[in-house]
Chain A
Amino acid sequence: MKSKNRNGGQQGKGAVRRAVATVGTAERHDINLTVNGEMYELEINPSHTLAYTLRDTLGLTGTKIGCDYGACAACTVLVDGKATLSCNTLTVKCDGKSVTTIEGLEDPATGKLHPLQQSFIDSTAFQCGFCTPGVIMSAKALLDERPSPTEEDVKQALAGHFCRCISHYLVIRAVLEASRKREVA
């Protein structure tokens, strides 16, 4: 992968980063993608999934791949604010869209965590942690749309997430707690 900054080394938001992820003679597509507030011009193969682009092209490995066929939701990210299975989404279909991954939740300037992340820490709402980034992204989509969800809302929003440690009960507690704290704040 080659990567260069079009704006001559200018750092931070507003700069457009360019990445080439095509190999050999495969068909190429140029797309524009905003990831965690950064704008990218990407040259990709049409077969690349968003999960592949995020992880392998952009190095954002916080998004995990469990099954790679859209059945476990470990790879959930937000595309234009909507919870989306990135292993089941072709990157070419995301041209012009804005993607938020788990890496985009923490305030890069202050290191302050998103209230959901803090709530997951406070409730130890994970065991092995492999499914956690995806779960947090779905929970964020829920709270953005419905700031005061019921327990049933949380269960429905997370219905597709495969977790074998059974952290479900502590996750529900963490999501409701994050919602409650936001109401107070």
Chain B
Amino acid sequence: MSKEYRHIGKSTPRKDARAIVTGRSRYLDDIKVPNMLYGKVLRSPYPHADIRSIDTSKAEAYPGVEAVITYKNVPEWIDGTPRHRRLLDRRVRFVGDAVALVAARTKEIADEALGLIDVEYDLLPAVFDVEEAMKPGAPQLYAQFTNNTFPHGCRAFGPKALQNVVMGDVEKGFKEADVIAEGTCAYENIPNPLPPEPPGVIASWEDPGHLTIWPASQSAAMTRNFVQPYLGVDVRVIGIPCGGSYGSKNCTLPPIGYAAALARATTRPVKIYYTKEEHFSAYTLRLGSRIHAKIGLKKDGTVTALAADWLVNTGSASEMTPGQVAVGCGEAQLLVRCANWNLQPKVVCTNRNPSGVVRGFGGQEFKSALTPILALAMEKAGLDPVEFFKKNFVKPGDGYYWRDGKWWDYRGIDFSEAMDKGAEKFGWKDKWKGWGKPTMVEGTKRRGVGVGVHGNADVGEDESEAYVRLDPNATAVLLACVSESGMGERSSLCKMVAEVLNLPLDRVNITPPDTLVNPFEYGLAGSRGTYTVGTAAIQAAENAKRKLFQLAAPMFEAKPEDLETRDGQIFVRDHEQKKIPWVKVMSPYRTCTGHGRFETDFSLCNFMMTFVEVEVDTESGKTRLLRVVGATDVGQIIDPLSLEGQLYGALGSAGIDTALFEESVLDETTGNIRNGNLIDYEWRRYPDLPEFENVILETPISSHRFKAIGVGEITCAPGPSAVLMAIYNAIGKRIMDYPATPEKILKVLGKLQGRKPG
């Protein structure tokens, strides 16, 4: 496809490439504003307690300290879904919860002042397990949430936000089934997406009604959309390069609240920048997902009924958890075509880090827990999982309830070809020996293969607007509020605009992600950028070009629609002998501006299938990931290398490796995270990289002019369940709770004393 395009589909340097490789790219830690103070947070050592007394007098008197804030003098700012979390509260609900805030002239002074605050606590019993927390008599975290269970609803997704999937008659469906499988699976290892740059923000009040912030965020736009209603003031967000996010630095409000409160108290700019320890122990983690499910299946792969309790552990607070439940419920229907559903989620709070937005957004957590139970049914029915997924993944003519609670008819493509091509590249037919059967056995080493699948209709979620301004010197500026946290979206959008305007890429630029100057943008989330912001940018470029041609038409005595432009020269189509440069048409004293807008469309989805081969050492219990093949169909590649990078991201940011070794180890006697540092928390290193190949198809998709959709967010999601499947096939024993550590593997092999996990 790409041959007909000048830029689209070709690898071009990222716009910010030179800044990144020369160290000029300035992240939050590299930025100071004049007169700036440093904020620090005193954190609770207890998982559940009430503050009996707090004495800040010594800290306030310490030279260099400019403000101390506690629950007694904090502004009444409440965030969460639903709103429930005070910026500072008399009650602390996890080890790391905020107790007091200090602003000082230096970080060191702020740190010392924290040690001068005397706090006495009344300790309360704590609860960590999702089912324990729901029992009557369990410690209650919030008075308004009986049995620690959140009410249904997600205001961001509208009054009918999807909070369960109930369709048909499951009892009838079970009667129609050839096999029925029941089981429980837990994806509750609360891995940390852990971008290399810790979270943080600078906040500065212009006056009591106007706040300016510079957040380390994946999305300046979304930050504004969330912070404005939170603080009830006008907020300007100035986006800066973000050192990794993976969803986790989208709209996390507490650090912004801390900085804004301290800045208000001192009338000076305040920077809050978490340490890596705070990043581990006080920031948001992936939500916990436990599913009890019963599945009815026919031998031809038809799912006749799916009944499931989905227990979602949101930790001590819910940033967006009911929203993640909504998207997870939607994605469930992309995975399984079934007439009879009873999927019932419950969101429950417990005394550990709050859960927040993480790449995968409910869907990865849901699939990782459901797929191993689906696999039980597939095995009973004697079905090859690739064939099962092929039969069940959403197809044209199908539909689903999406996050808004509305029914959407699917108008995208059939992804079966991508599944076939992926299976072929992986060698699935040769390596698949049947359920519980290894691909190869050599001494104590056993190899197995697994596969997982994921898709998300968030590719068309929410609204975007853009302007494109043509300047007389044959350059163009895209005005769109898009931040850069690694996806290369800013550069890809410039490519789309350059393609429409037929300009060299270096003649198209994009404004900084400053909400003061840019039109409305929801923010980069899910895989929405390519379709949503792309549509707005393309439309804006087309409209700007149309205006330019209207100005030019009389000079050619031609109709505007007969004109073309290349490299800033206008001519009549097929009559290139007469060319007029933009500047002659516009004069040096005019610009031409076009506007574009995208409206929510949940009728398309993206697709990712992940094949893995693992080798389990039955002596040590250690599993090595040998090979990964990712298969997708993106309609049209915008930038091959940026896409490749996103696909490799399947391993990082709490993706595939959450099935192998990534976990935050919660000590349920103290509430501490035992491995909350970069030495004890395991992460993928260069010498342990698996062989990794990608199969990328380009079947045109009815999105916008370039027939493309995004896929970046979901590359992590199919991997974890694929790994558990591969381990089962290698050793013939199932592990139903993540991650499959050596200890768990030795236990199921009967080589360790003690209770069987799972």
Q: Give chain A's interface residues, CB within 8 Å of chain B.
A: 23, 55, 60-69, 71-72, 74, 101-103, 105-106, 113, 117, 120-124, 126-133, 136, 152, 154-156, 158-170, 172
- 8 Å CB interface, B677-699 against A: 677-679, 683-687, 689, 692
Residues of A within 8 A of B683 (CB): 162, 164
How far, in whole Å, are A163 and B29 apart by their CA atoms in the complex? 18
Closest 3 CB pairs of A and B: A62-B23, A130-B243, A127-B486
In contact, B196 and A72 (Cβ under 8 angstroms):
yes
Known A-B contacts A126-B20, A126-B21, A128-B197; the reply to A165 vs B653 at CB < 8 A is yes
A15 CB, min distance to chain B CBs, angstroms: 22
The reply to whether the CB of B76 lies closer than 8 angstroms to some CB of chain A is no
> Which of B370-378, B453-461, B644-652 lies at the interface?
B644-652
The reply to whether the CB of B24 lies closer than 8 angstroms to some CB of chain A is yes
Q: Which of A121, A136, A165 contacts B244 (CB 8 A)?
A: A165
Residues of B within 8 A of A64 (CB): 27, 29-30, 196-197, 243
How far, in whole Å, are A140 and B197 apart by their CA atoms in the complex? 23
The reply to whether the CB of B22 lies closer than 8 angstroms to some CB of chain A is yes
Nearest CB to that of A154 among chain B residues?
A: B686
Residues of A within 8 A of B18 (CB): 113, 121
- 8 Å CB interface, B174-219 against A: 193-198
Known A-B contacts A163-B196, A166-B651; the reply to A156 vs B641 at CB < 8 A is no
In contact, A166 and B16 (Cβ under 8 angstroms):
no
Q: Which of B642, B650, B652, B687 contacts A159 (CB 8 A)?
A: B687
In contact, B22 and A105 (Cβ under 8 angstroms):
yes
In contact, B194 and A129 (Cβ under 8 angstroms):
no
Residues of A within 8 A of B641 (CB): 123-124, 170
Q: Which of B24, B106, B488 contacts A127 (CB 8 A)?
A: B488
How far, in whole Å, are A130 and B485 apart by their CA atoms in the complex? 9
How far, in whole Å, are A66 and B194 apart by their CA atoms in the complex? 11
B277 CB, min distance to chain A CBs, angstroms: 9
Task: Name 5 extra pairs, CB < 8 A, besides A113-B21, A129-B20.
Answer: A69-B678, A103-B22, A127-B487, A127-B646, A130-B195
The reply to whether the CB of B402 lies closer than 8 angstroms to some CB of chain A is no
In contact, A163 and B13 (Cβ under 8 angstroms):
no
In contact, A170 and B241 (Cβ under 8 angstroms):
no
B638-680 near A? 1/0 per residue, CB < 8 Å: 0101101110111111000000000000000000000001110
Residues of A within 8 A of B648 (CB): 166-170
The reply to whether the CB of B579 lies closer than 8 angstroms to some CB of chain A is no
B677 CB, min distance to chain A CBs, angstroms: 7
In contact, B16 and A164 (Cβ under 8 angstroms):
no
In contact, B23 and A101 (Cβ under 8 angstroms):
yes
In contact, B24 and A62 (Cβ under 8 angstroms):
yes
In contact, A169 and B692 (Cβ under 8 angstroms):
yes
Residues of B within 8 A of A71 (CB): 677-679
B732 CB, min distance to chain A CBs, angstroms: 31
Residues of A within 8 A of B406 (CB): none
The reply to whether the CB of B707 lies closer than 8 angstroms to some CB of chain A is no
Known A-B contacts A124-B13, A161-B686, A164-B653; the reply to A131 vs B488 at CB < 8 A is no
Q: Which of B25, B197, B645 contacts A167 (CB 8 A)?
A: B645
Residues of B within 8 A of A160 (CB): 685
Nearest CB to that of B653 among chain A residues?
A: A164
How far, in whole Å, are A39 and B550 apart by their CA atoms in the complex? 61
The reply to whether the CB of B86 lies closer than 8 angstroms to some CB of chain A is no
In contact, A155 and B687 (Cβ under 8 angstroms):
yes
A-B contact pairs, 16 of them (CB 8 A): A61-B29, A61-B30, A64-B27, A64-B29, A66-B198, A67-B677, A72-B678, A102-B22, A120-B17, A121-B21, A124-B641, A126-B486, A128-B486, A133-B21, A160-B685, A164-B193
How far, in whole Å, are A112 and B409 apart by their CA atoms in the complex? 54
Is the contact region of chain B dominated by helix, strand, or loop, or is it mixed? loop
The reply to whether the CB of B246 lies closer than 8 angstroms to some CB of chain A is yes
How far, in whole Å, are A71 and B692 apart by their CA atoms in the complex? 26
B685 CB, min distance to chain A CBs, angstroms: 5
In contact, B29 and A65 (Cβ under 8 angstroms):
yes
How far, in whole Å, are A156 and B689 apart by their CA atoms in the complex? 11
B42-69 near A? 1/0 per residue, CB < 8 Å: 0000000000000000000000000000
How far, in whole Å, are A8 and B541 apart by their CA atoms in the complex? 54
In contact, B197 and A156 (Cβ under 8 angstroms):
no
Residues of B within 8 A of A72 (CB): 196, 276, 678
Known A-B contacts A124-B13, A129-B486; the reply to A165 vs B645 at CB < 8 A is yes
In contact, A124 and B645 (Cβ under 8 angstroms):
yes
The reply to whether the CB of B620 lies closer than 8 angstroms to some CB of chain A is no
How far, in whole Å, are A55 and B27 apart by their CA atoms in the complex? 13
In contact, B22 and A158 (Cβ under 8 angstroms):
no
How far, in whole Å, are A69 and B742 apart by their CA atoms in the complex? 28
The reply to whether the CB of B292 lies closer than 8 angstroms to some CB of chain A is no
Q: Which of B24, B25, B244 contacts A164 (CB 8 A)?
A: B244
In contact, A128 and B22 (Cβ under 8 angstroms):
no
Residues of B within 8 A of A67 (CB): 276, 677-678
In contact, B244 and A130 (Cβ under 8 angstroms):
yes
How far, in whole Å, are A72 and B685 apart by their CA atoms in the complex? 11
In contact, A68 and B22 (Cβ under 8 angstroms):
no
B30 CB, min distance to chain A CBs, angstroms: 4
The reply to whether the CB of B242 lies closer than 8 angstroms to some CB of chain A is yes
How far, in whole Å, are A122 and B275 apart by their CA atoms in the complex? 33
A177 CB, min distance to chain B CBs, angstroms: 12
Known A-B contacts A163-B652, A168-B648; the reply to A117 vs B22 at CB < 8 A is yes
Residues of A within 8 A of B14 (CB): 121, 124, 126
In contact, B649 and A129 (Cβ under 8 angstroms):
no
The reply to whether the CB of B511 lies closer than 8 angstroms to some CB of chain A is no
Residues of B within 8 A of A155 (CB): 686-687, 689
In contact, B23 and A103 (Cβ under 8 angstroms):
yes
In contact, A166 and B21 (Cβ under 8 angstroms):
no
How far, in whole Å, are A136 and B193 apart by their CA atoms in the complex? 24
Residues of B within 8 A of A123 (CB): 641
Residues of A within 8 A of B653 (CB): 164-166
The reply to whether the CB of B26 lies closer than 8 angstroms to some CB of chain A is yes
B713 CB, min distance to chain A CBs, angstroms: 13
Q: Which of A61, A106, A159 contacts B686 (CB 8 A)?
A: A159
